[in-house]
Structure 1
Amino acid sequence: MFVLDYLSYLLTSFTTIFVIVDPLGNLPMFIALTEPFSSSEREKVSRRSTVLALVILLLITLTGGFILDFFKVTIEGLKIAGGILLFAISIDILMGGNRRESYVEKGVENRNVDSLAAFPIALPLYTGPGAITASIVLYSSAESILLKVMVLVSIVVTYAIVRVTQRYSNYLIRVLGKSGSDIVARVMAIFLAAIGIEYFFSGLFAKIQSFI
């Protein structure tokens, strides 16, 4: 495999995970959830939630293949289900993001720093079903160790960006504004819908070929 092929897979992996995790689009939710906290407490929530979200996604990505084998689920079946799920998530975001608003409502009841970092910020806001599905598909589809490493690197880089956006959330929101963040989220949702459709038809065609 040529270097360009590796770089292309790295770019695909990173773009897919970045679009789904959506660091900029999730900023208003992060700020809304941590609004009552002091700067030091918000920083603590940011560190813990980012590390926790990263660890969860890495563990699920690495063990996803074993989980699929245990439940006798094929990668094609996961692509079909994941494609439908990603498309549904993108529609929810495009239609106003009721799912995200519910995270804020649940977070209001859960103002402890440690518990808030775990739920709903780490899971499911930053490591939701879409990110889990996409990471398992990318990692399981990788044909070499180097490609699998690239998927893991993409995950780490994405959450490093999450950490930076949270660290400077006040400045970024001031620049983007609420409407700017909403626009970013909806633009990302369009790409997410396209990724979901690609997953769906890729898995569907593979299934059809296996039956034939």
Structure 2
Amino acid sequence: MNSWNSTTDSLLLAFPALFSIVNPIACALIFSQLTADNTPDERKRLAGKVALYATFIMLVALWAGTTVMNFFGITLSALRLAGGLVVVASAWGLLFAPERQEARKQEQAVHAANPEDAAFFPLTMPFTTGPGTISVAITLGSNRPPAVHELIPFFAGNSLAAVLMGAVIWGIYRYADRLSTLLGHTGTRIFTRLSAFILLCIGAQILLNGADDALRPLFQSHLDQH
């Protein structure tokens, strides 16, 4: 039961963070424009490829990102502090200037003359899962618990969040044209800002975890001396 709760907690933290930074609804509207000349079957195949590649990128960042950082001598608390700042900065930009974020993503993907040949670059990387998503995934992975027996439920929850995020990307991209008609410009803006606020809160929590890791030993040492 305890392991199940840990898995659920990890899932409930990771999925909103990934969803907010990927922002698949806003991306789907651009995806719909870029694939407007493709047949419905071609768009479905392309949506599947992008979702598969995006899931792989998120899983690698979640599982191996912290190890790579440790190789360069970056401590876990430093990674959490830096990652939390990146998440907060990304959320702040999405919250107050979503138009700028979407324009940047559209500029990254506009050079894909043949989307079938561009499923990985640029439609997956950096359009769908760019540096921001990778930073968030690495930061989430860095929040691993110290106890060894808690690692499996922790990574199970995070991995499930990445897989679910991939499924969401697939579903939303698959029906991007319908979604574009349903939501419209105003609906997308509202949803983007709500997601950005959730991401801002998650980034603040990760930042607090990093500060606690870094400052607790200092305070403990000071108390021991007195």
Deviations 1:143-195 (A, max 9, x none): 32122111111100111011011111122222211211121111101111121
Correspondence 1:157 to 2:152: no
CA distance in 2: counterparts of 1:105 and 1:135, whole angstroms: 23
CA contact (8 A) 1:32 1:104 kept: no
Pair 1:193–1:63, CA change in 2 (3 A): same
TM-score with structure 1 length normalisation? Answer: 0.88
CA contact (8 A) 2:109 2:122 kept: yes
Who is 2:10 aligned against? Answer: 9
CA distance in 2: counterparts of 1:77 and 1:7, whole angstroms: 26
Deviations 1:110-163 (A, max 9, x none): 212244322332112321233222322333333321221111111001110110
Alpha-carbon RMSD across the aligned residues, in angstroms, is 2.1
Correspondence 1:50 to 2:57: no
**How far did 1:67 drift?**
0.1
Q: Considering only CA atoms, is the larger Rg found in Structure 1 or Structure 2?
A: 2
Correspondence 1:187 to 2:194: yes
Higher alpha-carbon deviation: 113-122 or 82-91: 113-122
Who is 1:130 aligned against? Answer: 132
TM-score with structure 2 length normalisation? Answer: 0.83
> Please, which runs of 5 or more residues in structure 1 have no aligned partner?
none
Pair 1:159–1:37, CA change in 2 (3 A): same
Provide the aligned length of Structure 1 versus Structure 2: 212
Correspondence 1:20 to 2:27: no
SS at match of 1:118: coil
CA contact (8 A) 2:80 2:206 kept: yes
